[in-house]
A and B are shown apart, each in its own frame.
Chain A
Amino acid sequence: MTTLLIAKQILMTIYSKYEVYITPLLKFLLALVALLLINSRLGYMESIDKSTVVLIVALMCSFMPMNFIVIMTALFTLLHLYSFSLECAAVVGAGFLLMFLLYFRFSPKDTLVVVLMPICFLMKIPYVVPLAMGLVGTPTSVVSVACGVIAYYMIHYVTQNVSVIAAMAGEETAAKFRFIIDGLLNNKEMVVTIVAFGITVILVYLIRRLSLDYAWTIAMAAGVVVDIMVLLVGDLMFETNVALFGVIAGNVAAFLLALVLQFFVFNVDYSRTEKVQFEDDEYYYYVKAVPKVTVAKPEKKVKQINSQKSKAVQKTKSTH
């Protein structure tokens, strides 16, 4: 454990020292992965299905605010869909528009989940997102997670039915439109996944807020178990054809990932190196404030409380 804590400290020191470079690099990587995945899955518009375009856009994303990645990925998806079929682009575009208008107006910080969710789905570990959102988010994160699931299933449905939609080329626009909307609204697998993830987020949030020892780990374990159960019960009720092994293995992987996240991300001090400028009548100040790094303080505290108590008890005994 000590070596792990030391490793964490080293990482924290490196992060606070090179935060200026690491954050843009992470943003660049996220944008790159997201755009490459979109191009590999959809790739209908040749002009944006090029590595140079992806690289340039990812570079732009690295120094823009986080939400720029969301806008760019949405734009790439819509452009590809537009090249494939106008109706698909219209339906998916309407879906995106509703999400942005109705929900992300309230919590613009949560928009990243909509990008992360489809990426995690493609990596077969979507279960990590509700766990992580339950740990760091609030109960309202349920809506963000649901939006992420809907975004994935919209794209998934189109990629699954490419040949059918392409074969409908001669038919009327309204018929194609109806086919796509029917497919999306009657997708029971999507509904079951939303319900399972929603329950997971709320349960993880509720348990990790309890004043229990290891509340976070218990919350994660409970979240994983409930997630598996709801997905399997949903499979029995609506025949969603969920792969039993995939769900269990994915959830176990999600649990392990959440443990790593908890260790490296959630325990660290959130304050980072800050560079601030201000002035008064006498000076100009250019201050670089670096957070101090400390290890294992809580353990010491526990010992102190116990020893004080026992001393107090001894004192009272001696006076009697």
Chain B
Amino acid sequence: MLNEKRIILMTKMASYEANEGKKNVAIGSFFRSDYIGWQVLKSIISATIAFVVVFGMYIFYDFEVFMMDIYKMDLIEFAKQVLRMYLWTIGVYAVISYVVYTVRYNRAVKSLKLYHMNLRRLSEMYRQ
């Protein structure tokens, strides 16, 4: 016999799995620290590439002046300055991504809890 209530619940859950749930299940398969750590690491890599692009453009913008000044300037001080800016960029970006992904993880876990509750309801329906 077809159980109508069961089909409605299963349809809703299948639709959740196919749409919003897909991402949440993927997020939920990680431990909290693993997920956030991995995302922050990816953000740091993105920020590093972005920094290299901007720095490259900055150097190329005044390439002649830079090449003339390179013999006069204190290279170690320049490198320190660049490194400081790089660390600031990375730091700020990492903090932003930490906050964003923490919120996302918490949301996903909350929505998965509801999904698991529905799963339990479904398995109870089968037992009846």
Partner-B contacts on A (CB < 8 A):
91, 94, 97-98, 101-102, 105-106, 174, 177-178, 181, 274, 276-278, 280, 283, 285, 287, 289
Contacts and interface: CB of A to CB of B under 8 A. Distances in A.
B7 interface: yes
A123 to B, nearest CB: 32
A291 to B, nearest CB: 11
B64 A174 contact: yes
7 contacts: A97-B49, A97-B50, A101-B47, A101-B50, A174-B63, A181-B61, A280-B126
A283 B2 contact: yes
B57 A94 contact: yes
Interface residues of B, number: 25
Interface string B27-63: 0000000000000001100110110011001001111
Given A102-B50, A277-B14, A177 B126 contact: no
A283 B97 CA distance: 45
A106 B61 CA distance: 30
Given A274-B18, A277-B14, 8 more contacts: A101-B49, A102-B46, A102-B50, A105-B43, A274-B11, A276-B15, A283-B2, A287-B10
A91 B60 CA distance: 11
A106 B43 CA distance: 9
A9 to B, nearest CB: 23
Contacts of A106: 97, 100
B86 interface: no
Nearest to A281: B126
B7 A98 contact: no
B15 A274 contact: yes
A105 B2 contact: no
B105 to A, nearest CB: 14
A276 B11 contact: yes
B115 interface: no
B98 interface: no
B49 A276 contact: no
A102 B93 contact: yes
Contact of A105 (B7, B15, B42, B62): B42
A50 B7 CA distance: 51
B10 A98 contact: no
Contacts of B93: 102
A280 B7 CA distance: 10
Contacts of B2: 283
A138 to B, nearest CB: 12
B63 to A, nearest CB: 5
A47 to B, nearest CB: 28
Contact of B46 (A105, A174, A274, A278): A105
Closest 9 CB pairs of A and B: A276-B14, A101-B46, A101-B50, A174-B63, A278-B14, A287-B11, A274-B15, A94-B53, A289-B11
A289 B14 CA distance: 11
A174 B58 CA distance: 11
Contact of B61 (A101, A177, A277, A289): A177
B91 to A, nearest CB: 14
Contacts of A278: 10-11, 14
B104 to A, nearest CB: 9
Contact of A276 (B18, B46, B47, B63): B18
Interface centre among A97, A101, A277 (most CB of B within 10 A): A101
B8 to A, nearest CB: 9
Contacts of B43: 105
Contacts of B57: 91, 94, 181
